[in-house]
Amino acid sequence: MSPRTSLLVLLGATLAAGCGAEPSTSGPRLGLEVTINRAIADELGAFQVVVLPEGKSRRCGDIQRSCLAQQVKPDEALLLEGADGKKARALRFNAGLNSNGAQEVAVDIPVGRDYVVVIEALSRANPPRFLGSSCNYLESVSGTRNEPLIAAPITLVGGECDPTFAP
């Protein structure tokens, strides 16, 4: 069995009050749904996904105050692989929400325990601007079957920090 498993990330933007679509669950994939606020819908250009080990030792409230790249050393983040084969410690996905406000992306992450999944909302500007983030504790990732993780809403903070995560 492979030491890595797929994390299927369902990025759902519930742009008004209410619930998004149910994340899918099948095989070793983990569904994840993220909620954003209507205020940033027009500015939203991409999502950046980062997975950190030692989740229980991290405080999500602190993580969400500014760009993650300014808070952790690049080698602290797990090496991820996107569906296109690209490997990086932070994977970016262009925002392409469907009519239901959802977006699916596949990410391979190592099988393991005690993670924090951070999803940052980035602006369309060049260079991108940090809009806010969602921080989620993930107890474990299995090589077989993973239950969906409903992500915390993206906390809007905005900021002039550089969200670029070193390779």
Q: What are the φ/ψ torsions at residue 68 (nearest 5 degrees)? A: -65, -35
C-alpha to C-alpha distance for 59 and 79, rounded to whole angstroms: 21
10 class by beta-carbon count within 10 Å (0-12 exposed, 13-18 middle, 19+ buried)? buried
Q: Which residue has the higher pLDDT, 122 or 12?
A: 122
Pair of tokens at residue 6: 């797929």
Q: Which of 29, 37, 24 is nearest to 4 (CA)?
A: 29
String of b and e for 84-97 (b: at least 16 CB within 10 Å)? eeeebbbbbbebeb
Window from 38-42, 65-69, 70-74, 132-136 with minimum mean pLDDT: 38-42
Q: Which residue has the higher pLDDT, 149 or 14?
A: 149
Q: What is the pLDDT of residues 47-101, one digit of tens each?
A: 899 999 999 999 999 999 899 999 999 899 999 888 788 899 999 988 876 666 6
Please give the average per-residue pLDDT across 20-43, as a whole number: 51
Q: What are the φ/ψ torsions at residue 40 (nearest 5 degrees)? A: -105, 0
For residue 113, give the amino acid letter: R
Contact partners, residue 98, CB within 8 Å, separation at least 6: none
